[in-house]
Amino acid sequence: MSGAGTAAGTRWPSYDELAEVGDSGLRCSWGVFGAGDEVGTLNFVTPAARRAAAASVTEGVAIDLSLPLNLPLPQLARSRPSYRHTIFRDRGGRDDKVDDFYLQGSTQWDGLAHVRFREHGYYGGRQEAQLDAGELSIERLAEHGMVGRGVLVDVAAHAERSGIELSPDRRHGITAEELQWVLDAQGTVLRSGDFLLLRTGWLRWYLALDADGRTALAASLHPGVDGLQCPGLDCAPETAEWLWNHRVAAVAADNPAVEALPVRAEQGYLHRLLVALLGMPFGELWNLEELAERCAALTRYEFLFSSVPLKIPGGVGSPGNGVALL
């Protein structure tokens, strides 16, 4: 895919114009937004893009996109215990605290400090000492603001309408071609700086499970072939190319990892291609069910998207705190 986009008078290189990382054959955006850049593809969200996004609000309806913080329960990742919420009461009122609260345990953002690419480092080629000093902190994303035009790509609904099997408990890599098919079917055109929200149907399936079904999934989120299976983005470089060339600011999905699970080492790891190499934040476990119903009823899949990560100095991830305004 060729062609380059512009924003605020700047010409962004197309994917095939990006530099390669060592001898990996993979491309990165390191340096494209400046040597000290810490927000990656959020640079695509310009003031003009935000003004245009605000014009997409016609109904005045706000839709919460986050799960309750105690879901999934039990946690899917074996390293994350479920948090403990304690409420303190006295004659004057109440206070509370949370223990063992994992910032990436529910609806969340993976910040740019989450994943590194081999010995080459994190986004921009940074190494551990630079992250220890606070670079690539999740608070950089909060300061920049994750506000702009959101676009729902409802793969699950398209599959149902088209009679295509898309099992929520089976691995399926959603290709760039499939993303484009859904957008075309919806009548949606991506713009530079869009936040892409991907609905696979996984969360709807998970929320319908009983307690035993959810418990059976506990600690299953790991790279092994016997781990959790779900549909998600295909891990091929062509997926990264498509997202970059469409100037997507960030991608969030209703599944546990954005990409299809389990990760297969021989095929690659999309977190590295997008988060580490292109500087694209990942949102996981986003609740898109009500949004999907509203968008289908309106036959319109664009909205004003707003998410406010927690300003945690040195933080790696954050709860999503996302809202769609239609």
Q: What is the rounded average pLDDT for all residues in the chain?
A: 94
Per-residue pLDDT reduced to its tens digit, 187-205:
999 999 999 999 999 999 9
Q: Averaged over 11-25, what is the pLDDT?
A: 95
Q: How confident is the model at residue 184 (pLDDT cuts 50, 70, 90)?
A: very high
Closest-CA residue to 115 (of 287, 229, 270): 270
- Phi/psi at 155 (nearest 5 deg)? -65, -40
Catalogue all structural domains in the chain, each as residue range(s) with its CATH number: 12-325 (3.50.30.50)
The whole-number pLDDT of residue 4 equals 44
Per-residue pLDDT reduced to its tens digit, 42-65:
999 999 999 999 999 999 999 999
Letter string b/e over residues 277-290, b meaning 16 or more CB atoms within 10 A of that residue's CB: bbbbbbbbbbbbbe
Per-residue pLDDT reduced to its tens digit, 135-181:
999 999 999 999 999 999 999 999 999 999 999 999 999 999 999 99
User: Is pLDDT at 12 greater than 90 in this prediction?
Assistant: yes
Q: Report how far residue 133's alpha carbon sits from residue 113's, in angstroms, rounded to the nearest whole number.
A: 12
User: Is pLDDT at 6 greater than 50 in this prediction?
Assistant: no
The whole-number pLDDT of residue 5 equals 45
The whole-number pLDDT of residue 307 equals 98
Q: Report how far residue 186's alpha carbon sits from residue 182's, in angstroms, rounded to the nearest whole number.
A: 6
The whole-number pLDDT of residue 317 equals 97
Angle made by CA atoms 16, 19, 23, in degrees to the nearest 5: 105
Per-residue pLDDT reduced to its tens digit, 76-120:
988 788 889 999 999 999 999 999 999 999 999 999 999 999 999
Closest-CA residue to 70 (of 34, 40, 102, 106): 106
Q: Report how far residue 122's alpha carbon sits from residue 290's, in angstroms, rounded to the nearest whole number.
A: 35
User: Is pLDDT at 278 greater than 60 in this prediction?
Assistant: yes
Closest-CA residue to 267 (of 226, 299, 239, 246): 239
pTM for the full model?
0.95
Which residues are within 8 A (CB) of 142 and not within 5 positions of it... i.e. 6 or more apart?
308, 309, 310, 311, 318
User: Is pLDDT at 223 greater than 90 in this prediction?
Assistant: no
Could you tell me which residues are beta bridge partners of residue 284?
108
